[in-house]
Every structure is written in C-alpha cells, then in structure tokens.
C-alpha cells in the first residue's frame, strides 16, 4: 500500500524539527524578541523619565514673582488664575495644585490661584423684606460682609427694612465692590412710628450721617454747591425735609437729602 501525501508531509516536518537549521531559526526568533523587549523597556524608561522627579515646594503664601522664580529653577511649568479674597494681601498664592510635597515628574504644570489686588464688582442682591438670617446668608454668598445692625419701626420683627452702604441706602442691582460691608436696618416688630427730624445745617457730612442714622432715618441724595476743593471739608447748607412749624416728625427710614458747600453758613 502506497503512503498518502499527508503522511509524507508529516514525516518531512518531523525530520525538519531535528535539523540544525530549525534550531538556529528558533534561537534567532527568541533572540530578536528579546532584543525588541529590551528596546521597548528602555525606551519607556527614557520617555517617562522613570525615577526622575521632585516634590512640589510649598508655594501658598508666597508672592507670585517668588513662586514663579522657584518653579523656573526647579524646571516646573505653571499656569495661574486669580480670585479676590478681602483678608489676603494682593499678589499672594492662596491655592496650589498639586499640593505641597506631592511627587511629580519634571516639567509638570503647577496650577496657582493668586489673590488679585482689585476687588471685582458685583450686583447687589435683593434682601429687603427678607428675614435677617436669610439676608445674611445671601449677602455672604455674594462675597459681601454684614456690618452694623440697627432697629427701626416695622411690623415683621427682624425683617430687613433697608440696606446701608457708606451711609446711604443701597438698592437691588447697584454695582459695588466685592468684600464691601453692608449695614442693615431691621424691623423691631412695633409697627410704623415717627421720629423727630434732626437739624443738619452747619454739620459736616460725617456728622450728618451719624445724626441721620441715630434718628433711624436714611441718607438720600448728596449734592455739592459751588467750587469744591476739599470734599472732606464741606458743610451742609440745605436739607430736605427740613424742620418747620408744620413738619417736625417723619416716618422711620425716611430719606434726608442734603446739599453741601465749602463755605459754612453763619
């Protein structure tokens, strides 16, 4: 019986496996694979700079110029953004990412948050007729501060009657600097009352504001008359409303408009 082709090919293959040529080819293949693995391994080590890096220095509290000089010396790149924090000096790093003492690779980007020197402006929120706690929360969420609180006649106790900024009533939508202090006038729960109109003629602006606030009234418009060379040295020459025989009292919170001049009335 004559052997078939498949049987012959199998015998030839088995015979080839025993030859020197096969062993050389196998060894060559393993050698090439080994060399390729070595090249890949060392290439990755070079690309990732395996074992090369440093710990991030403490940058919080530094002036921006000193922080960037230090990062340049260490071979680290950086990017920065700015925010405004009222109780921090301008130009100081207040946040960093990654944090202090974090191990990073060379040329890693460090993100810095810098305190800007100028406060941004915000639109004053609506707080009138809101309870004090809610109004306080709103004011603080806008980056403002609650200053003095005084009481005036009002039915809803501890509800906001007026907000005061720099001695003047401030209304919703007015632009003021973030971090500003807002004084509040709260209702005392006793309903509407009337108070005596103070005589402001001859007083300075600061004296008038103190008198107006003490009378549970509010400062209205301020007008200057004549040539003003020193706004801190001016005197009230007119006020509205003014005490007359027919008008001695007004409602709590009434706005008093004043006109100031460099020359004090005799």
CATH number of 120-192: 3.30.10.20
Percentage with pLDDT > 70 across the chain? 87
Q: What is the pLDDT of residue 80?
A: 84
Q: What is the pLDDT of residue 46?
A: 54
Residue boundaries of the structural domains of the chain? 5-48, 54-115, 120-192, 195-266
113-116: which pairs have CB atoms within 8 A and are 24 or more residues apart?
113/80, 113/81, 113/82, 113/83, 114/64, 114/80, 114/81, 114/82, 114/83, 115/82, 115/83, 115/84, 115/85, 115/88, 115/89, 115/90, 115/91, 116/82, 116/83, 116/84, 116/90
DSSP H helices in 63-128: 64-74
Q: What is the pLDDT of residue 252?
A: 78
**Structure token digits, residue 57:** 């220095």
- Per DSSP, the residues of 196-213 read EPP--TT--HHHHHHHHH
pLDDT, tens digit (0-9, with 9 covering 90-100), for 53-108: 788 889 998 998 999 999 888 888 899 888 877 778 888 999 999 898 888 887 78
Taking the chain (266 residues) in runs of 10, the rounded mean pLDDT of each run is: 60 67 77 80 57 81 90 88 81 90 84 86 92 95 91 85 89 89 89 82 90 85 88 89 84 88 82
CATH topology of domain 195-266: Trypsin Inhibitor V; Chain A (3.30.10)
Q: Do domains 54-115 and 120-192 have the same CATH topology?
A: yes
For residues 163 and 127, the answer to whether their CB atoms sit within 8 Å is: yes
CA 10 and chain centroid, separation: 80
What whole-number distance in Å separates Cα of residue 149 and Cα of residue 28?
A: 90
Residue 136: which H helix or E strand, with range? Answer: helix 132-141
Q: What is the pLDDT of residue 160?
A: 93
CATH number of 54-115: 3.30.10.20
């Amino acid at each position: 019986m004559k052997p078939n082709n498949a049987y012959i090919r199998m015998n030839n293959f088995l015979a080839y496996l025993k030859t020197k040529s096969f062993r050389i080819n196998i060894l060559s293949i393993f050698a090439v694979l080994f060399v390729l693995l070595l090249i890949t391994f060392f290439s990755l080590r070079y690309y990732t700079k395996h074992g090369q890096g440093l710990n991030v220095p403490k940058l919080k509290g530094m002036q921006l110029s000193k922080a960037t000089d230090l990062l340049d010396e260490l071979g680290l790149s950086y990017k920065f953004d700015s925010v405004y924090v009222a109780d921090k000096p301008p130009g100081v790093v207040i946040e960093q990412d990654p944090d202090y003492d974090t191990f990073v690779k060379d040329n890693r980007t460090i993100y810095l948050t810098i305190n800007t020197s100028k406060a941004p402006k915000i639109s004053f929120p609506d707080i009138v007729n809101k309870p004090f706690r809610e109004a306080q929360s709103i004011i603080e969420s806008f980056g403002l501060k609650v200053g003095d609180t005084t009481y005036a006649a009002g039915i809803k106790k501890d509800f906001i009657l007026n907000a005061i900024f720099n001695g003047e009533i401030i209304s919703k939508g007015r632009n003021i600097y973030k971090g500003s202090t807002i004084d509040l006038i709260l209702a005392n729960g006793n309903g509407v009352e009337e108070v005596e109109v103070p005589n402001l003629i001859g007083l300075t602006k600061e004296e008038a504001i103190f008198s107006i606030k003490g009378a549970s009234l509010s400062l209205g418009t301020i007008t200057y008359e004549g040539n003003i060379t020193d706004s801190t040295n001016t005197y009230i020459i007119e006020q509205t409303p003014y005490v007359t025989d027919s008008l001695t009292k007004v409602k709590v919170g009434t706005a008093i408009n004043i006109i100031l001049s460099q020359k004090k009335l005799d």
